[in-house]
Amino acid sequence: MARPSRSCLLAFVTACSCIPTAPAIEYAYAPYHAGAMDPQTTGWPLTDAERAYVLKPEYERRPGAEAMQHRPDLWPTTPAAGFWGGTSWLDMHAGLVKAAHASQGPIDVLLVGDSITQQWGPTWAKHFPKWKTVNIGIGGDKTQNVLWRLDHGGVDGLEPRVCVLLIGNNNMFFTPETGIKPAAEGIQACAANLRERFPAAEIVVVKIFPAHAPGVAFYEDIKKTNASLDGLNLTRDPRLELLDLTGDLLKADGTLDKNLYTPDAVHLAPAGYDLYAARLRPLLEKALGPGGGEPATPDPASR
């Protein structure tokens, strides 16, 4: 009897991806695994029960909500679907799942993150036109949203050679409740999830970019979270690189280099993406070899 082709097997797995499977990593909040919270902790498409559940506002689905107990320390490390009102966030995720399925099999780069990742857009293609890339950035996402997406079809069928993870900025809105270390542990959990799914891939974890201004709580909490991330020793994984652009994005006095940012002092301007690409390129070429495209020539007027 002939063995089924690899493409047939992938099609079968995709068609059956709604069958619940074990999550990639064990999450700390036990009721999550017991089904006391999320009725479908893995798999895609969603059951009717899961769809109804994730369309509740996110604050109603946080760890402890099901038992009327407040556990903000576990929010960043417990998967949770995002919520923009109505079905818009879920529709965005569904579109990315569809795109991932269309690209299933070997790819060069998987980009994972929030709006800063999502907004690479044509700038990525300008810098790296020869590398097959899938971008699953969603604006507003926190670590817990990325974890949920990874467990619910977001990367099913993909075989990336490199994963680039940049997440955590939006967790800073909640650090007064969660604390700093849990935010860093959320980034660690996203990296661990990717590692379990893609044991042969190189992983680049990008530290949270500076935002706003010195003295502003958001700016200071990013500094503290990045420092806490150092203490988690992610690079004990020999195939994980930690990339820190902080010094490149700030002036000597610690303020943002406004040429690299949009007026909101959070997102990158085109010159910022040029810088990001230049810093990322050596890590990508180390894993993929040369051939991703020609480096951009920095514009001296942009600095």
Q: Where are the domains of the chain?
A: 41-287
SS3 243: strand
Comparison of pLDDT for 216 and 290, the residue scoring more? 216
State pLDDT tens for residues 260-287: 999 999 999 999 999 999 999 999 999 9
Q: Which two tokens stand for residue 73?
A: 């320390």
Q: Residue 293: its pLDDT value, please?
A: 58
Q: Is the pLDDT of residue 69 over 50?
A: yes
pTM of the model: 0.90
Task: Give the type of residue at 33.
Answer: H
Q: How many Cβ atoms are within 10 Å of 67's Cβ, its own excluded?
A: 11
Q: Residue 3: its pLDDT value, please?
A: 38
Q: Which two tokens stand for residue 72?
A: 């903000």
Q: Residue 295: its pLDDT value, please?
A: 55
Question: Cβ neighbours of residue 100 under 8 Å, at least 6 residues apart?
Answer: 134, 136, 153, 154, 155, 156, 157, 158
- Taking domain 41-287, whether its CATH number is 3.40.50.1110 is answered by yes
Q: What percent of the chain has pLDDT over 70?
A: 88
Average pLDDT over residues 78-82: 96
Q: Is the pLDDT of residue 19 over 50?
A: no
Predicted confidence band of residue 134 (pLDDT cuts 50, 70, 90): very high
Q: Would you say the C-alpha torsion 37, 40, 45, 46 has a positive or negative sign?
A: negative
